[in-house]
Amino acid sequence: MKTKFHFGSIISIFLKLVEFLISNIQKFGKKSLIILMVFIRKHGLTKVLQTINLVLELINKIITLLFCNPPRCHQGNWDNDRFSKNARFSWTMQKLKALNIRDVKHLCRHLKCSEKELHNFCNHPDAYYNEFVVKVKGKNRPIAQPRGRLKQILTNLQCLLSRIELPGYLHGGVKEHSPKTNALCHINKSAVFNFDLEDFFPSVRPYMVYDLFKNRLGCRSQIAWILTQLVTFKDGLPQGSPTSTVVANLVIVPLSKRLNNLSKKHGCTYTQFVDDGTISGPGYIERLRPLIDKIISQEGLRASPKAHKRTTKHRHEEQLVTKVRVNKRIDISTEKLDEIRHELDELKTMVFRGDTALQKRINSLRGKIQYVKTLNPEKASKLNNKLTRIFKAVS
């Protein structure tokens, strides 16, 4: 004789089953969901579950524990974790609106370090950086790269900060964004106005970073000070640190919101790629330049006064956004195309001359042609054919 259960008893048993599976998630693994589905179908709970928020939340907990495993994400060793890389990625990339780090121990769990290490990094930063100068387009650029343990901890911090939500018009250093996605926003516009934030990383001062962590990301004063000490070096953001780009993006969110609101009022489109800003729209956008400069100045930064870094181009001219042509469609810039053609001619001369050290030059050209392919496959095909003919002529 079958025992008849009251409906409330079934729900009670179901909840106990869910709690049991949560507490034994490592033992049952994916079988947990199968057990639940069998129970649901057997007792006709499918429609009821759609209206019971508590049950749905419990099922969501099982899915989170099964595929994300948040407690071990902060405390465990990834090398010994049974969960797949995709599962770990799905947890670590869940978006945040704030950090809300309240004490040092909480911060240490996020960064996978000790309080003693944090103390050393904050009080003796010079001991953990390699400083050197590189030449970029004829200009000396100071680089400060963190090394050793500090680099590992800053990489952990960079992963954490990358989870904070950013407005869609910020493209630089953001996953699934690139110069191409930045340029796509400005295709076929009457005018394109480009501007540059002068000495961007060095201009992001510690007080701006402290304000970011304390007032906008919800950290306590002590934590905001420690994080500021970690990500800044010699009164600015160091070029060469893994955290500099993401911190810079977060710092300029208020500025970018103001520029985006201004653009919307005039029927324009605004995007920002690290220090390169672009506003496109009606032909009169050049008149907005003084107001744009004023807004940038009010936010503690400065627009570059150099003519080649603040340009307005109209339809009859070549319009470039992050070095991508945007007149009627995205395309390779004329300057970049000419540069690659010139390199191909140089390579042809070197091959006929019998030079042997060609592999590095060939690899560089193939990389550039591959970049052209992402913008204009037809032009890339022609360049690739030319590269093939060079070698056929020799062989």
- Measured distance CA(372)–CA(211) in Å, rounded: 41
Give me the pLDDT at residue 25, please.
56
At 139, the pLDDT band (50, 70, 90 cuts) reads confident
Give me the pLDDT at residue 85, please.
45
Residue 207 predicted with pLDDT over 60: yes
- Measured distance CA(253)–CA(320) in Å, rounded: 24
Residue corresponding to tokens 């540069």: 339
Residue type, 385: N
Nearest one of 254, 251, 296 to 277, comparing CA atoms: 296
Rounded alpha-carbon distances, angstroms, from residue 236 to 158, 242, 256, 296, 298: 17, 14, 20, 17, 18
Give me the pLDDT at residue 95, please.
81
Give me the pLDDT at residue 33, please.
65
In whole angstroms, what separates CA 266 from the centre of its chain? 29
User: Tens digit of pLDDT for each residue in 71-115?
Assistant: 333 333 333 343 344 444 444 557 888 898 989 999 999 999 999
Q: What are phi and psi of 140, to 5 degrees?
A: -75, 130
Give me the pLDDT at residue 394, please.
58
Give me the pLDDT at residue 229, please.
94
Residue type, 395: S
User: Tens digit of pLDDT for each residue in 174-204?
Assistant: 988 999 999 999 999 999 999 999 999 999 9
Give me the pLDDT at residue 70, please.
37
- Measured distance CA(273)–CA(174) in Å, rounded: 9
* Mean pLDDT (whole number) for 28-35: 63
Give me the pLDDT at residue 162, please.
93
User: Tens digit of pLDDT for each residue in 291-343?
Assistant: 999 999 999 999 999 888 999 999 999 999 999 999 999 999 999 999 999 99
Give me the pLDDT at residue 351, please.
81
Residue 26 predicted with pLDDT over 60: no
Residue 138 or residue 33, greater confidence = 138
At 30, the pLDDT band (50, 70, 90 cuts) reads low
Give me the pLDDT at residue 362, please.
86
Give me the pLDDT at residue 79, please.
39
Return the bridge partners of 368, or none.
none
Q: What are phi and psi of 185, to 5 degrees?
A: -75, -10
Give me the pLDDT at residue 11, please.
65
Give me the pLDDT at residue 141, please.
86
- Measured distance CA(373)–CA(363) in Å, rounded: 15
At 49, the pLDDT band (50, 70, 90 cuts) reads low
Give me the pLDDT at residue 71, please.
34
Lowest mean per-residue pLDDT among 102-116, 242-256, 261-275, 354-368: 354-368
Nearest one of 250, 234, 272 to 142, comparing CA atoms: 234
Whole-number percent of the chain with pLDDT over 90: 58
Nearest one of 88, 62, 61 to 74, comparing CA atoms: 88
Q: What mean pLDDT is reported for the chain? A: 83
